[in-house]
A and B are shown apart, each in its own frame.
Chain A
Amino acid sequence: MTDETGREPAMELSDEMLMAYVDGELAAEEAAAVERAIAGDAGLKRRAADFRDTRMLARGALAEARAEPVPAALVAAVRAAAERARQASAGTAGTPVAAVTAGDRRATAAPPAAATVDPAPSDTAEPAATGARVIAFPQRRRAALFALPIAASLMVAAGLTGFLIGDARAPVTDVATVAPLGGDTAVTAALTGLVSGDERTLADGRRLAAVATFPVDDGVCRVFTVRGAESGAVEGVACDRGSGLAVEVAVTATSDDGAYTPASDVATGVVDAFLDAAGAGASLTVEEERALPRR
């Protein structure tokens, strides 16, 4: 069906449909249709950006709580419960440990077994029988958020900037903007020569620090900070996916009096969400970084 302009009529897109598209929940055919509709419609683009932003912001806002160490008592109690279940399934229920806690949740807060658990568990300290390790974040399903790294991060940038412009009148103590630094070749050129922990002063006086490097599916991503820029402290990620380093996300954090806010939780949250979505693995050692190809 076509309208008088000979094109497909504007698609009536529900919030649910648009959101499902952003979340990568649509079948390929539906997704392509939504993509076409969005391409020619600034309003739809804005609504899609809202769904993208809110997903990233929700993750960023809660990243802090998730990075908190789990209380040793909780880890110990859960391990003790796992151990009891193991013994029960092995037909050895009725041992003292299993008997202590039958039906009483409170009693398990500090069962006898807990006393032997190292409060800071490590591979070496833990017996093979339980062998539990606290792993920060398991690999998760890749979110559609950064499915198209460059285009998507620019879109996120646009959306966030919009939200922050609306925010500018507000008496907030600090704000963050995600700005594309794609053209900032001074940063990427200097970063190429640095390993994590290194700092360098750029020609314009800004101070660049290499923070960490993470492997991703098709290359590496490097986290960096830039201080001394008029726009404030920047934390960002530059990735080399086969054609040299390019900045894919950069978060600027400034306080309302213009002072820089280093390592703001906003920036860290956004960067973590980005790395998470990019499927980043464990960070490389300095030696591994040195072995990376230089472009």
Chain B
Amino acid sequence: MAHISELEASLRPPAMEMPPYPPKVITLASGEEMVVRQVAREEVPTLLEAIYPLLWVERDFYDIVGARLFGELLAYKRYRVKDEYVLAGLIDGVLAGMVNGRLVDGKTGMSYHTLTIRRGLRVGSHLFAAKMEYHIEHCGQEEVLIVAESPIGFRRWMIEYPLEKRFEVQHELGGVPSWVLPKETYYNAKPRLAAGRRPVPDELMKAAETIALPAEETVVRQVAGEKEESE
């Protein structure tokens, strides 16, 4: 363990005991296998590179999601946010999407963001469910607070699980009214919304050891669609 100064230590939040996320593999509609695993701090720079092009895409709130996620990942890397986790979905080692959040305390989780890079294969749905699984099944929490920037994307989860209103609680993302996924609702929804097999076969895990980036052109094109016409 590297030695850190007292001042640095005082600027780091005390860390709760967080179990590692056990990796799983999911067969996607294309027949491809996506490994879902936790992201280590050293891997954050790769994720930042993937997000960076989105910071100027206004459509569908990608700019604010990108900017916030960028900050959250940096904060995770540099120990400036308490008990944050990051999960990534990798197809043949290539980044397909990422999700993050943090543990408020033993009972409550705070979901941050979901970013899908590889479209058309429900990667976002799989990863969102994976983080709910992490909070509730692996960390043993009672409920997860959730909000979103984009109303259309959010409406789907709001209705699908379904989520409950907890508007009296301000979510950390801008203090907006929270929705919540209670444990019981998660378990009821699990058969139709959460999938994946464990353990991950060795060769797939090996392929997922290093996170490879999709081409930048692909990220902007896939995530945000074609460039908008400028009038």
Tell whether A pairs with B.
no
List the interface of chain A (C-beta within 8 A of B): none
